[in-house]
Amino acid sequence: MSLKFCWRTTSLLATATALLISTTAPKAHADIPDENYRPILEHLLGTVMPPKLDELNGATSNLADGLKDFCSDPDADGLLEVQGDFHSAMDIWQEIQPWRMGPLVANGRDQHIEYWPDKHGTATRQFRKLMFNKPAAFTDPKQLSDASAALQGFPALEEVLFDDKHSDQLIAADEDGVFLCQYGSAIATNLVRLTGEVRDEWPAFADAMRNAGPDSMDYATAKFAATDLYRALHEGLLIISSQKLGRPIGTDAKDASASRGESETSKRSLRNISHNLIGLFAIYDGKWGDVGQEGKGLSALIDSSLLDRSFRLNWQTVQDQLDTLPPSITELLDQPDGYQKLVDLAGQIDLLTSLVENDVGGNTNLGGGFNALDGD
């Protein structure tokens, strides 16, 4: 199987367990010449993403180095520093996470980086067994890479660094603490490997997307390739709504549970969503922090300045709303009107999803009944 074919196959497999969502079909617009999609592919995949993958790999390297230093002489201040390194790495990962294509999802790599959602409590059960047996293999990054995805990646490291009981053990450096430190170091080192693989494999994937055409085994047209970018934008919002917010919201206020949120042990479930929106907006806009250029993403295909301004305003409104909320759902639900604020936020995300489906999907000719991943 060719390298290019693998990328496309992986992208299709990523949606194989999709949850079908009924959407309003985007309004039909005049056909867009295939060559108009090619500069967007070049910009987003060749210019914008590579520096972000470098940043992610660098952040995980800093995390691994910090853990190594901490484990050699653990104390409370050192733990705070390592937790800060964790947050820095998670910030950039949460921005990259929604792109869900190519090397990010090849061989289930995204799940090895972050095994979530864990609807059946797999990680909790496996972690409990791990702490009972304390197998030396899990302190070796290479052997850990062959273990269950639930015992690798950011959620497992979050449990090590942020659970109160484990934090005390780390600082005390007792038998459990020593094992936890070595295990945490192995996780971080494995994350360096995983993010390095994504970075190193990305150029070949980007070339396959940019070279879409009759001679490609993956993408017969540039429009077909650009569809993966639209899908990432669309499904990224649906995942926020159905999983990152929908699961904690539950059926009503009594059923709400922050523990069903993402990264709640480290109290950053809403912070994650804020960073998701940064990475998702880059697909539309073409600029991501100090990387890229405004107007060179999917927005380059929008032929209405009014529609473009409206979309940007609605997106900024949601981001501004998030900025007024605490970083975690736990803290938000502790507020008297916290549940309603959470529901309101989900409604705002749903509005953005509708705008993507109808306005962006229609004006770019890339929309049309995509499915949302349910995370199973």
Q: What is the pLDDT of residues 179-226, one digit of tens each?
A: 999 999 999 999 999 999 999 999 999 999 999 988 888 889 999 999
pLDDT at position 215, please?
A: 85
pLDDT at position 368, please?
A: 63
Is 158's pLDDT higher than 60? yes
Q: In the structure encoding, which two tokens stand for residue 37, read together?
A: 């999609």
pLDDT digits (tens, 9 = 90+) for 48-88: 999 999 999 999 999 999 999 999 999 999 999 999 999 99
Is 3's pLDDT higher than 60? no
pLDDT digits (tens, 9 = 90+) for 96-153: 999 999 999 999 999 999 999 998 899 999 999 999 999 999 999 999 999 999 999 9
Banded pLDDT at 39 (limits 50, 70, 90): very high
Which one, of 284, 232, 293, 269, lies nearest residue 346 by Cα? 269
Q: How far apart, in whole angstroms, are the C-alpha atoms of residue 306 and residue 308?
A: 5
Is 373's pLDDT higher than 90? no
Q: How far apart, in whole angstroms, are the C-alpha atoms of residue 174 and residue 335?
A: 38
pLDDT at position 123, please?
A: 92
pLDDT at position 372, please?
A: 41
Is 24's pLDDT higher than 60? no
Judged by DSSP in three states, 18 sits in strand
Banded pLDDT at 16 (limits 50, 70, 90): very low
Question: What is the rounded average pLDDT of the residues 26-49?
Answer: 88
pLDDT at position 217, please?
A: 84
Question: What is the rounded average pLDDT of the residues 326-345?
Answer: 98
Give how far Cα 26 sits from Cα of 41, 158, 301, 354, 360, Å.
22, 41, 15, 10, 8
pLDDT digits (tens, 9 = 90+) for 289-302: 999 999 999 999 99
Banded pLDDT at 14 (limits 50, 70, 90): very low
pLDDT digits (tens, 9 = 90+) for 235-256: 999 999 999 999 999 999 999 9
> By the 8 A CB rule, do 37 and 226 touch?
yes
Query: How many domains does the structure of the chain reveal?
Result: 1
Q: Which residue has the higher pLDDT, 11 or 349?
A: 349
pLDDT at position 356, please?
A: 97
Identify the CATH number of the domain in which residue 66 sits.
1.20.1420.20
Question: What is the rounded average pLDDT of the residues 265-292?
Answer: 98
pLDDT at position 29, please?
A: 58
Q: pTM higher than 0.85 for the full model?
A: yes
Q: Which residue has the higher pLDDT, 213 or 313?
A: 313
Q: Mind giving me the DSSP string for 307-327?
A: HHHHHHHHHHHHHHHHHTS-S
Q: What mean pLDDT, rounded, does the chain reach? A: 91
Strands (E), the chain: 18-19, 287-288, 291-292, 372-373
Q: Which residue has the higher pLDDT, 299 or 10?
A: 299
The sign of the dihedral angle between the CA atoms of 69, 74, 78, 80 is positive
> Around 149, how many Cα atoms within 13 Å sit in the side-chain half-sphere?
13
Is 22's pLDDT higher than 90? no
Query: By residue range, what is the domain housing residue 326?
Result: 3-373
